[in-house]
Amino acid sequence: MKIADVRRTAYSMPLVSPSYPPGPYRFIDREYMIITYRTDPAALAKVVPEPLEVTAPIVKYEFIRMPDSTGFGDYTETGQVIPVRFNGVEGGYTHSMYLDDESPIAGGRELWGFPKKFANPKMKVETDTLVGTLHYGSVLCASATMGYKHVAADKEKVLASLLTPTFLLKIIPHVDATPRICELVRYYLEDVTVKECWTGPGALGLFPHALCRVSELPVLEVLSAAHIKADLTLGLGEVVYDYLKDGAA
């Protein structure tokens, strides 16, 4: 293969059989269970990077079922999103993500900088309860439950929340293990159609694990629970801060 061919075809690793196709990435019937809870402000201060600002001692723990996603297939994801502010604009910082599909792990990390790790999250309806679990190996690390479709939520408010920006810390090492890319990335969801949205009673338990550290943002009080189904497109990102250049002096 000629140098020109490498430059022309290089998109993702491995070169001759990339782990995921080029976007855009469209999700049909994407289903969320979001448990919003109050946590320890000191714990948040340890994990949210400047120049992001923590707006409140709150975490959104999310389970997401993606049965039909362009290029990534059918998978389940879970993780923690922290409400933040950047340059006066409210958004969310994705702190942790665990999922069961290699393609979106590779694509999410390489393109945007999603903090994805392989694990075994599940989300399903058990009689009258929406249930989410996260196992890392054989160990239970998170358990969320919510009353199934108890009260209809305001679609306009839910849509507005989905359209706020999300921030990621993208880290790509050099071959000598020093950082080659260390950037704060912002992205938006696009072409969002909220099909259903519900609230109801919710509960969340987070349990210690050496490599799946969701419990280090402890649950002090559950504030709300939401169940959402939507179609949407995952927009590509933009760099809003370069840790290796901005303010380097």
The catalytic site residues sit at 116
C-alpha 203/C-alpha 205 separation (Å) is 7
Phi, psi at 196, each rounded to 5°: -145, 150
Closest CA to 90 of 37, 157, 164: 164
Closest CA to 38 of 55, 15, 16: 55
C-alpha 142/C-alpha 119 separation (Å) is 12
Instruction: Give the pair of three-digit tokens for residue 79.
Output: 């993780």
Residue 14 CB coordination number (10 Å)? 7
End-to-end CA distance of the chain: 42
